[in-house]
Amino acid sequence: MVKRFRFGAPIETEAVLEKGAQQDKQQLSLVQTADGLEYEMPDDMIVYGLGENTRGINKRGWIYVSNCTDNPHHNEGTRSLYGAHNFLLLSGEGQQLGLFIDTPAKVTFDIGYSRYNLLRITAGQDYDLYVIEGSTPAQVVQEFRQLIGRSYIPPKWAFGYGQSRWSYLSSDEVREVVRGHREKGLPLDSVYLDIDYMERYKDFTVDREQFADFEQLVSEMKQEHIHLVPIIDAGVKVEEGYDVYEEGEKEGYFCKDEEGNDFIVGVWPGRCCFPDMLNDKARAWFGNKYKVLLDKGIDGFWNDMNEPAVFYSEKRLKKVFEKLQDYQGQNLDVNTFFEFQALAAGVSNNEEDYRSFYHNYRGEKIRHDKVHNLFGYYMTRSASEAFERLEPEKRILMYSRSSYIGMHRYAGIWQGDNLSWWSHLLMNLKMMPSLNMCGFLYTGADIGGFGGDATEDLVIRWLSFGVFTPLLRNHAARGTRQQEAYRFPRTNLFQNVLTARYCMLPYLYSEFMKAALRSTMMFSPLGFVYPSDQTARQVEDQLFVGENIMIAPVYEQNASGRTVYFPETMKLLRFHDGGVLEGSVYEKGWAYVEMPLGDVCVFIRDGYLLPLAKGGSHVAEVDFEDLRLYTCGSDVKSYEYYMDDGETKDYSLDKYIRILKAE
């Protein structure tokens, strides 16, 4: 059951497809406050949700702020990440309550931080609240997902392995990366182009010095079954003679300052303007620009810097330079030094700057901070809507760094600029079900970590978890260790892990598609599957992938195995040395399981099966029909196997599901 309660005059986000009638606030089970809501939580209540955010699957005990933020150095103390996903699921004995606070402005969730049993939501005066009641956590999530619409579905090739770096600087470097994988027997389907493929960081351009043969490169890579996926950034370079800038400036498509002038910020190219993504005409104009690259054979993109990230505003930079003069010649003691240091540090992503520019949203001038969390969503929507016009029958890969609920219909996300930390591997694991709750199914983190120098074992362990996530991309920052799989000594271990991915593709693709089309979750906490098992409800480092298998990744350095909780009888299936080994059967309870580096372990539930293919060097080489069925137990259920062509937009469950039965 879904009920909508309106507070004030909220700004439309288009996150929800069917709003339903407003309800009388007398029916509301939460306490209304001057600027939000409060709810008394029982001791045993688990709070799920908030999509992309820090800490555990259970969100109790911390403050989270929905405010799309560029923060590549996030840790346990961080309160905001790149997405804003205002959905909570309160799960207690006899009560399952979903809450969605629909507002594009900042929202604060104090989930037992100030007082352990108190949920305090601070959302201002204007928002829609959706309250969803159900008998199980999974039912509440399904109701919410049906409310917000079907999740984005990428092409099948996008479930293959992708290699990225900031940046591959030339066509020859791209060829070297592909050659390195192919010669070492490492499967690969895509190579990502970061900002250096552009001409001086200008959107929808190509650097004709380093990528002179760009069109030939795209064609050549497709012959190798490699898709090139270029980045598109939110800022348009201010430069006379640059057509994108000149058109946007002439038509008034850029965000304005208080005086009505184009708001100038610094991003990758230096001085930039932000296209007004909330202006329908500007959004259509920007989306049509993707045609430049579509016409060159590109069929995948990633949108970046669209929180939007601000290196500096021109006005703020001027003030800082003037203020810095005051410190010249001073004795900088502890106080004045920190003031001096904070001046420079406060230039980027400054809250005052976000209150200094405006959008034309449905004919109304709206200050950016009031709609901040919509910017990345609407930028990515601009591309998706353009693809519908330009390539209506074809699936195009699209994912974004910033997002709000609703964008899940148009694209996936990656989980932002992380670090080469073991804790960020664990956070990746814990984020998957939370994102699925909010509709984001096509997602994954930068394998190995984006910032910092990754170790060989971290990349292998991260890959060993990442092979289950729909988006599987190795990505690293400029100045860090090169972490492509073929550069490490133990290439055979990487080969085994990636082979496991391509063997599991039939199951992973099938489970993804069923989750998208049925509004269910691909990744579930154990408590969703066993809601009455109090131990299962507390386990946060194991997940179900689909209905049939459980995973328990290793996320600690130098560990050769781990303790696993089995909520029921399960059988170990081990990918080892390029093959598949059927291992021990574990009864309900705790057990230590050996998981040597390079092995990928899955646990099949009693009475279920797992279909596997023979693998391949790319997705097109995988035989999705000739499958081997691995089972646990004697009375094995049949499996609904979904498989379509992976390219067109015919997604019929009746047409593409067939039943697999164990012999």
Max Cα separation, the chain? 84
Please give the Cα distance from 11 to 126 (Å, whole number): 8
DSSP state of 243: H
Is residue 439 within 8 Å of residue 454, measured between CB atoms? Answer: no
Residues 6+ apart with CB under 8 A from 277: 283, 286, 359, 374, 375, 378, 379, 381, 382
- The helix or strand, by DSSP H or E, that contains position 38, with its residue range, turns out to be strand 36-40
d(CA 185, CA 192): 20
Range list of β-strands (E), 317-416: 357-361, 364-367, 397-400, 403-404, 412-414
Residue 90 phi/psi, 5-degree rounding, is -95, 115
Sign of the Cα torsion 249, 253, 254, 260 reads positive
Return the structure tokens found at 196: 């250096």
Of 611, 648, 652, the residue nearest 629 (C-alpha): 611
Cβ neighbours around 132 below 10 Å, total:
22
In angstroms, the CA 367 to CA 359 distance is: 6
Tell whether the torsion through CA atoms of 290, 292, 294 and 297 is positive or negative: negative
Quick one: tokens of 96?
A: 């399952």
Residues 167/204, Cβ–Cβ less than 8 Å: no
- Of the candidates 587, 573, 590, the one whose C-alpha atom is nearest the C-alpha of residue 539 is 590
Residues 6+ apart with CB under 8 A from 341: none
Q: Please state, in angstroms and rounded to a whole number, the distance separating the CA atoms of residues 6 and 188.
A: 49
Q: Which two tokens stand for residue 381?
A: 């929507």
Q: Which of 49, 40, 79 is nearest to 63 (CA)?
A: 79
Give the position of tokens 């984001």: 440
Non-local (6+) Cβ contacts of 331 within 8 A are: none
The set of catalytic residues is 304, 307, 417
> What does the DSSP assignment read for 541-574?
S-EEETTTEEE----STT-SEEEEEESS-EEEEE
Cα 361 to its chain centre, rounded Å, is: 26
621 contacts: CB under 8 Å, gap ≥ 6 = 225
Measuring CA to CA, how many Å separate 352 from each of 53, 312, 355?
24, 11, 5
Tokens encoding 551: 């995973």
Q: How far is CA 595 from CA 276, 553, 562, 586, 602, in A?
A: 50, 9, 7, 15, 11
Query: What is the Cα–Cα distance from 360 to 345, expressed in whole angstroms?
Result: 30
Contact of 418 with 78, CB cutoff 8 Å: no
- Which of 481, 467, 474 shows the shortest CA–CA distance to 414? 474
